[in-house]
Structure 1
Amino acid sequence: MVIFFFSSQTYEEQSITPFLAQFNTPYWYDRLEGLSFMYGGVEVSAHTAGVNGFLEFFIRKGAHLFIFFVFGLLTLGVWRSFVKHAVLAFAGALVCVLLYASADELHQMLTGGRTPLLQDVVLDTFGGLLGIFCFLMFNRWRRRRT
């Protein structure tokens, strides 16, 4: 529900650039000047987006990672409670994460001011995969302690 709620908001409703405008100073431009990369066919840098836009990019993508990390962790927990075969539970959880990440981008296509990106599907799936691995590592650690 959290993912669906955030995907339903326009870019402007989610924007935190006014708060981050305080970082639009020569000090931060100098520190971030050499950082530049392509994401979704667009250059991301302090020069092109301003310091506040550059920082917001990382906060937004970090939110993608975190939310899908939690989603992957919880999804594997549900799969493990119904499917005892570890590989099937892992595969089922990963497929769920991938499908929901794809559906989330399709949902964003229908939301004003949002752009669906294949790169976000990959990022979301990676976040979910990290959550799945953390679930597995925690279970392994917990079994060794008992």
Structure 2
Amino acid sequence: MIRKFHKWLIPALFVLWAMLIFFFSSQTYEEQRISPFLGQFNTPYWYEKLGGISFMYGGLEVSVHTAGVAGFLEFFIRKAAHLIIFFVFGFLTISVWRTFIKNSVITFSGSLLCVLFYASADELHQKFTGGRTLLWQDVMLDTFGGLLGILCFLIINRRRKRH
């Protein structure tokens, strides 16, 4: 009985997590904005410490000078959220595949393709949400996060089999 329940627990968690990602993608930029909270870091100290960092992302310069300290920090928090959310998604994806398919190559490649597909669909969905944009860089970041989740699952699974 418990084994049968466990077999469907992981797919249920996978579906719930996919729904959570969809929910976050449905929120406008304004609904997700945390820069007002981060405004407390808009001080000369943080401008000086972070002022030398500048790079391009999605065709725009990301720096303290273009976004302010709060916007700059929010950028990193939002990208970390992409990575973490899709890390869990990748972990759950390979868990589902592993539950039903035992072939390692098919499990790995199928899981990675699912992550890539969902990351792409997620970005496309964001294009139709107010104040959000479609960025291929975010698809790559999401896919990388998913890949890390898949690799973490494989490492844990391998260590568990050794013991």
Query: TM-score higher than 0.5 here?
Result: yes
Return 5+ residue gaps in structure 2 as ranges: 1-18
**Separation (CA, whole Å) in 2 of partners of 1:63 and 1:81:** 27
Match of 1:106 in 2: 124
Q: Write out per-residue CA displacement over residues 27-54 of structure 1, whole angstroms, 9 at most, x where no aligned residue.
A: 0000001101000000001111000000
Q: Tell me, yes or no, if structure 1 residue 30 matches structure 2 residue 51.
A: no
Runs of 4+ in structure 1 off by over 4 angstroms are none
1:128 aligns with 2:150: no
Q: Are positions 1:141 and 2:159 aligned together? A: yes
Report the number of matched residues.
145
Distance in 2 of aligned mates of 1:116 and 1:7: 11
CA distance in 2, matches of 1:60, 1:6: 11
State TM-score, norm by structure 1.
0.98
TM-score by length of 2: 0.88
1:144, CA displacement in angstroms? 1.1
The alignment's C-alpha RMSD in Å is 0.4
Deviation, 1:139, is: 0.5
* 1:25 positional shift: 0.2
